[in-house]
A and B are shown apart, each in its own frame.
Chain A
């Protein structure tokens, strides 16, 4: 067993406990992706961590908690996945369903086109604020490696995609690219896309959120070699670690 491998095995327990910070986390994930032994050990450690809360002395939650959850759930439209909703609808209404599906898809396409058209050539502030009022989550990324930079990520309520508004980064040459990463606990870091900024250091890009947003512990932007990297290799230029 190589010394390098042993070093990663040493880090694996801390990684599963979400006790390792960004760059080191990325290196561990890159190793896990290529090491079956560590992959197996990772699963065993995850299973152990999964039962740790059982050791706690049970505490009964306040009775009013369920009422609050129920009322809030009733007050919110359920954010079912689009295809689940459509599948359910079509199952019940095999004939009329498809016309409605078509209309909804067309509406979404129009909305998306409008969204894209809103962006270029205008100040992004009002658009970002308007989007921030739509159902979803707003995450602020602060400059890490580039203190003057900042970004706002608007994630749709049902996850799956978001929009990222960036300011303060330098424009990169053709062989370099900015890349956004979703860092998770006990699971590989995944990318949400790449982008470059304009001459003023700004960009407004559509971002994929390919993993459940509740699993994401950090969101970071790094500079990578074009066209993209499989794992973050550069230092974090922008990062968000805590959001509601």
Chain B
């Protein structure tokens, strides 16, 4: 199994399906198997999971809290919680990376919410310019996935993207977003819905392939 400390962890297209890393050994166990081994106290399984998703968790945490030290705290806390509560993972409710991202986001938002509201909003300001060029690092599949999600976000209007980002990365409620943007609450709600619907249309086939369990109404 790859040594976690030496890995530059990148989100990998195929990893979202819980498959072995592209370019890695075909004997690498899928994510769910690593979680199962963690339940039995096998530390290499934790290391393996960290090797796959440590980078993504840290990236998300840093995006939310905007501070490397706090992001590291979130990263460490996320994997320790996963280690201590691996039985909480339910494969029926989503992929392993979603579970990890959920833990990380909750922890990061908790940290964010412990700060004054204005500080939180200020921390979100650089985000509004987010949506950069696709990173040049990572496997081709990872880059393709990142490009697809970035293109989808670029397909939104600025205000739609802002609504999504203030909610997801900023941890703001719709009321707080409306107050911050000085927009009617109904406008913010509609904008959020339109943005999500647009993302669903743009990412739908990709997401459906990835999860294999999305059902259309």
What residues of chain A have their CB less than 8 Å away from a CB belonging to chain B? 9-14, 16-21, 36-37, 40-41, 43-63, 65-70, 72-74, 76, 78-81, 84, 88, 157-159, 185, 187, 212-215, 217, 241-244
Contact = CB atoms under 8 A, between A and B. Distances in A.
B50 A69 contact: yes
A241 B113 contact: yes
Contact of B56 (A43, A54, A67, A74): A54
Interface SS of chain B: helix
B150 interface: yes
Nearest to A24: B174
Nearest to A74: B43
B106 A214 contact: yes
A78 B84 contact: yes
Contacts of A48: 196, 199-200, 203, 207
Given A19-B173, A65-B58, A214-B106, A79 B84 contact: yes
A50 B101 contact: yes
B145 interface: yes
Nearest to B216: A40
Contact of A43 (B8, B68, B215): B215
A14 B175 CA distance: 11
Contacts of B58: 59-61, 65
Interface size range on B against A: 35 or more
B60 A14 contact: no
Ordered nearest first, which 10 A-B pairs have the shortest CB separation? A212-B88, A13-B196, A61-B58, A19-B167, A40-B217, A17-B167, A55-B149, A47-B207, A81-B87, A53-B60
Given A14-B174, A69-B46, A80-B41, A50 B98 contact: yes
B47 A66 contact: yes
Contact of A158 (B85, B98, B114, B135): B85
Contacts of B63: 53, 56
Centre residue among B131, B138, B196, B197 by max chain A CB count within 10 A:
B196
Contact of B68 (A47, A62, A68): A62
